[in-house]
Amino acid sequence: MSILIDENTKVVVQGITGREGKFHALRNRDYGTKIVAGTRPGKGGESIESIPIFNTVEEAIESTGANVAMTMVPPAFAKDAVLESAFAGCELIVCITEGIPAKDEAEMYDIIKKQTKSKLLGPNCPGLISPGKSNVGIMPHEITKKGNVGVVSRSGTLTYEAVHQLTQLDIGQSTCIGIGGDPVPGMSFIDVLDEYEKDEETLAIVMIGEIGGSAEEEAAEFIKNTISKPVVSYIAGVTAPPGKKMGHAGAIVSGNKGTAVAKMDALEEAGVLVVSNPTKIGNAIKEVI
């Protein structure tokens, strides 16, 4: 098993005719992901290396049975693209696009939650990979290994760091997920943790957070009350100055809220093994399993 995607996942790539869309669509297909369609208004009927292009996601789903969308369109059009996939019936939408206005993010989050059954991962995220099964996004599959540890992170590069450490220690992963670092993400830590808890293949969890917001504190409470599997966590931004945005749009400390120390304390109180340095994540997981 794995969560959200597996070897049967069929992907439609929104923006497949763009440079990045084409590159990652073909790269993911080479890995074994079923990239069954792409979309670009006005390009319907064409194809890219045997991948058919449709004008709309609805047409792509009707023709190919796609159930997951990978959205790689410019920020100005991303909200409409995400909502198009949701109303067309995609089970999961993986929005890679960075720089979407917060207002657009809030609107599409609200509409998807209230009016559709779709799950949204991102925006501004690296996507997810179930090693040996499917890769939907921009994660480097070369550093992954099939196994039993779930990895979820707000930071893409720290996801890669944790996964690489695990693989070097011969510890495989069930599904590795970057939820994105924007102020209004689709799936939250809690959403992903809940999926890991229900997944029989996932035996332990790595959760990587950062300063800003309250997602980690909320996740700590959820872990305390719901998660039965061991969790290792790292929180980035211990030395970050208050009031200064650090990398991600959501990584900013306001007053006493959103600090790394507060998040680490909440997680430790919930029974999570919190490491002080990202290089210690792999060995910490090795210890708990």
Catalytic residues: 248
> Helix, strand, or coil here: 77?
helix
CA distance 216 to 260: 9
Query: Does residue 242 contact residue 248 with C-beta atoms inside 8 Å?
Result: no
SS3 content of the chain, % helix, strand, coil (to 5): 35, 25, 40
Return the closest-CA partner of residue 176 out of 144, 151, 208: 151
- Output the DSSP codes for 203-232: -EEEEEEESSSSHHHHHHHHHHHH--S-EE
Tell me how far apart the terminal alpha carbons of the chain are, to the nearest angstrom: 19
Query: Does residue 210 contact residue 157 with C-beta atoms inside 8 Å?
Result: no
Six-digit token pair at 172? 């495989």
Give the chain's radius of gyration (CA, Å).
18
Length of the chain: 289
Query: Does residue 172 contact residue 198 with C-beta atoms inside 8 Å?
Result: no
Six-digit token pair at 83? 């909502």
DSSP assignment letter at 278: G
CA distance 181 to 175: 19
